[in-house]
Amino acid sequence: MKNPKRVRHAAFTLVELLVVITIIGILIALLLPAVQAAREAARKMTCSNQIKQLGLALHNYHTTFGAFPMGALYYGTTGLAPNQCDMWAEAGGDNATAGGPKQGTSWIVRLLPYLEATNIYNNWSFINNVAGNGVLNGTVTGPNGTAMICQAQTEIKALYCPTRRPGFRPGTGADGAMMIGRGSTTGPWAGGGTDYGGCAGRLAWSTDSDHMMYDSSTQSGCNPQGNPPGNPPTTAGAGGPYGLMAISDSTASKHWGIFGQVNYCATMASIRDGSTNTFLLGELQRFTSTSSATNLPIVDISHDGWAVGGDATLFSTAAINPKALTAGPMNNGYFASPGSEHSGGAQFGMGDASVRFVSSTVDPGLFALLGSMADNVSAQAP
């Protein structure tokens, strides 16, 4: 009897297998950047939509009350010059000092009912500062007679740019470094951040540890060191405010942005430069340390918190980095300037609630003018 024929099974040779693996690797290498770009485009669109919704919420607020919410509510700290506002200290500061009748609150607090956060607003104690509304032990009684527990630490997802972070990032050296209580024995707050802020105008902030805000209603804030208009300071100095004058004027009212005046509410009628060419809000830079992955020096760690007034929820279009005078007005390493994690620029909501992406290479003078709402100087948003 003959033996059956031996059947030869087809199989890849080693060379063929290596060729297939190489081709697959090349395809992945070609497709991965496209996939990453598509994901970033989706994140950028989400960010744009969130800014749009904030703009519409502000307009709905204006329709209800006839004005926008004040940029910051400040009770006042004794011993300071009339034009200086220590918003960080009044909100609670590094030690999370709770108390009233201090405030230190932001424009976002008053906007909460228009952000589907009515419950937070209804339980907010307006006779206490921000820290008093963020206590962990519920020792402060709210207006509804309920114990206040972490209202100001509540996460609001729509206030985070998905390109930067999906929410509060815990851990040593992470977002807690920017939060109220970062110097306390109990540790920093564990939530309540924001990546969006209102436009204060073309103002300057102090580089002291509390990032003192210069109230534009009593001082221009720009070019305070006596430099010629259009020229930034030539030396860093200690704790002085820094700003870039876009035009030759010293009138404080010409520098005001929509949220630039402390304890004051701007109206649509206040935006005399045109709502389509005036910043309403935009993205903020966030620095958890002064170390930089680039050669750009970081001035100081940022302040964060949607409930906190001052640089935590406001930005200036004319503040410059005193350690890098040519870094530009955004993405420049300065806590008071706007910026984002998007490549090449940041997104801004205009006074008419439209959203625009502005390049980091924008002309500094034009950018500064887009922040002020009534300087009577023509400035076309890019």
pLDDT in tens, 103-133: 899 999 999 999 999 999 998 888 889 998 8
**Does residue 35 fall inside a structural domain?**
no
Tokens of 343: 């490549």
Going by their DSSP bridges, the two strands 147-148 and 105-106 should be labelled as unpaired
Q: What is the pLDDT of residue 46?
A: 97
Q: Please tell me whether residue 291 adopts helix, strand or coil conformation.
A: coil
- For 343, the domain range is 43-69+157-382
Q: What value, to the nearest 5°, has the Cα angle with vertex 215 and ends 89 and 318?
A: 105
Q: Is 379 helix (H, G, I), strand (E, B) or coil?
A: coil
The verdict on residue 38 lying in a domain is: no
Q: What is the domain count for the chain?
A: 1
Is residue 185, in this structure, part of any structural domain at all?
A: yes
Residue 245 CB contacts under 8 Å (≥ 6 apart), including other chains: 202, 222, 223, 227, 229, 230, 231, 318, 368
Does residue 92 lie in a domain region? Answer: no
Kindly state whether residue 364 falls inside one of the protein's structural domains: yes
Does residue 106 belong to any structural domain of this protein? no
HSE value, Cβ hemisphere, 13 Å, CA-based, for 91: 34
pTM of structure: 0.83
Q: CA–CA separation, 100 vs 111, rounded Å? A: 21
Using a pLDDT cut of 70, give the percent of the chain over it: 81
pLDDT confidence band for 9 (50 / 70 / 90): low
Q: Is residue 192 part of a domain?
A: yes
Q: Look-up: residue for tokens 């930034």?
A: 232
Is there a domain that residue 238 lies in? yes
